[in-house]
Each structure stands twice: as C-alpha cells, then as structure tokens.
C-alpha cells in the first residue's frame, strides 16, 4: 500500500485535513475517507456528472480529480449546498417540480445547476439544457429538471 498523504483543504466552508492514498480520486476520498456519500459514482470516467462538485467555484467531475490535488483549495459538495438548515432554492424546486425519481443523479444535477446560476442568473431553456448535458438522468427525460432550474432562475430575477 502506498504511503498516505495529508491534504489540507476547505470543505464546504470548513478547514479540513484528511489522509489519502495518492491514487485515490477526490470522489473516493469524499465518500470513503470523509464520509460524504452525497456525491455518487455513476461511471467513474466523467460521463455522467453524478459526482460533480465545485472546486474553487468551478464545476468538476470529482471522479476525474485526484484527492491530493485539492490541497489548499476549496471544495463544495452537495452536502454544502443547503445553508443554515435551509434548503437551497434549487433543492426546494427540485422537490416541488418532482424533478427526481430514483434520485441518484440529483446531487450532481443540483451542484451543476448551482454552478450555472452562479455564473448566469437568467439562463434560457437552451442554456440550461446545454449546461446540464454533462449530467445524465435516466428516469425523468429532463423535463421537470429543466423546469425546476428555470423556475429558480426566474425567482431570482
């Protein structure tokens, strides 16, 4: 077994230190080393978006980032989206619009949608569909997901 590395990072706003093997992905470290199971592995190679997190505010597939790479950087996962016990408007609208069925892709969609709205508070339907093309959902046909994101965007405007 490889020698473990200590990584210092800001995780969902908290200063955090953890140990990981050099070969572990950020996704694996989040789930197995840090107990944050909200980020999901659907493919392990960047095609489904179920593991998406924000790295210094930029949307990334956590399965394609090595855990030691987040040294000194800031990571926000699905567990960091709700603030002060209040659901984020995206989380609330996903519930109201029935935007999830099985729910396995939902954390990734919410993180991705937050990244979109942080950058573009009033996207068109096409903008939403283009941005979310990196997230696969097999249950919903995307209709109710896109409506939820547009609803949040309109609410903010």
Partner 1 sequence: MADTKQNGTGQPAANGQNGYKVIGTRPVRPDGVDKVTGRAVYAADVQMTGLLHGFVLRSPHAHARIRSIDTSKAEALPGVRAVVTADDLPVAEDKIEDLGEGAINLKYLSDNVLAQEKALYHGHAVAGVAAVNPHIAREAAELIEVDYEVLPPVMTVDDALAEDAPILLDTLRTDKMGEIGTEPTNLASFFRHQRGDLDAGFAGAHLVVDRTFRTETVHQGYIEPHAATALHSADGQITIWTSTQGSFAVRGQVCEILKIPVSRLKVVPTEIGGGFGGKINVYVEPVAVVLSEKAGHEPVKIVMSRADVLAATGPTSGSNIRVKIGVDADGKISAALAELYYEAGAYPGSPVGAAANVSLAPYAIDNLQVDGYDIIVNRPRSAAYRAPGGTNVAFAVESVVDELAEKLGMDPAEFRVLNGAKENDRRPDGLQYARIGQIETVEAIRDSEHYQSPLEGKYRGRGIASGYWNNWGGQSSATAVLNPDGSVNLSEASTDIGGSRASIAMQLAEAMDIEYEQVKARVVDTDTVSYNDVTGGSRTTFATGLAAYNLGQQLKKEMKRRLADQWDVALGDVCYEDGVFSAGAESLPFIEAAGLVQRDEPLMASSTVHPQDFGPGFSTQCVDVEVDPETGKITILRYTIAQDVGKAIHPSYVEGQMQGGVAQGIGWAINEEYIYDEEGHLLNASLLDYRMPTALDLPMIETIMVEVPHPAHPYGVRGVGEVNIVPPAGAVANAVYQATGIRMDKLPISPARLLEAMWAKEAESAELVPGDD
Q: Which residues bind partner 1 (CB under 8 A)?
A: 1, 21, 23, 31, 35-45, 47-48, 50, 77-79, 81-82, 87, 91, 94-98, 100-107, 110, 125, 128-130, 132-147
CA distance 115 to 42: 20
Q: What are the backbone dihedrals phi and psi of residue 117, each rounded to the nearest 5 degrees, phi first?
A: -70, -30
Say whether 123 sits in a helix, a strand or coil: coil
Q: Which residue, 46 or 73, has its beta carbon nearer to partner 1?
A: 46
Quick one: 19 or 72, whose CB is closer to partner 1?
19
- Other Cβ atoms closer than 10 A to 110: 27
- Minimum distance from residue 57 beta carbon to partner 1 (Å): 19
In the complex, minimum distance from the CB of residue 83 to partner 1, in angstroms, rounded to a whole number: 12
Question: Nearer Cβ to partner 1, position 6 or 98?
Answer: 98
Q: Are 12 and 79 in contact (CB under 8 A)?
A: yes
């Amino acid at each position: 077994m490889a020698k473990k590395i200590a990584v210092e990072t800001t995780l969902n706003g908290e200063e955090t230190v953890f140990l990981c093997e050099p070969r572990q992905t950020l996704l694996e470290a989040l789930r197995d080393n840090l107990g944050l199971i909200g980020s999901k592995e659907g493919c392990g190679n960047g095609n489904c978006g179920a593991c998406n997190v924000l790295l210094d505010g930029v949307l990334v597939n956590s399965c394609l980032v090595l855990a030691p790479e987040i040294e000194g950087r800031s990571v926000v996962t699905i567990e960091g989206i709700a603030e002060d016990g209040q659901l984020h408007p995206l989380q609330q609208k996903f519930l109201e619009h029935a935007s999830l069925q099985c729910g396995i892709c939902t954390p990734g969609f919410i993180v991705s949608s937050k990244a979109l709205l942080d950058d573009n508070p009033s996207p068109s339907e096409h903008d939403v569909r283009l941005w979310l093309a990196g997230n696969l959902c097999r249950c919903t046909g995307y209709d109710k997901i896109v409506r939820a994101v547009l609803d949040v965007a309109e609410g903010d405007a």
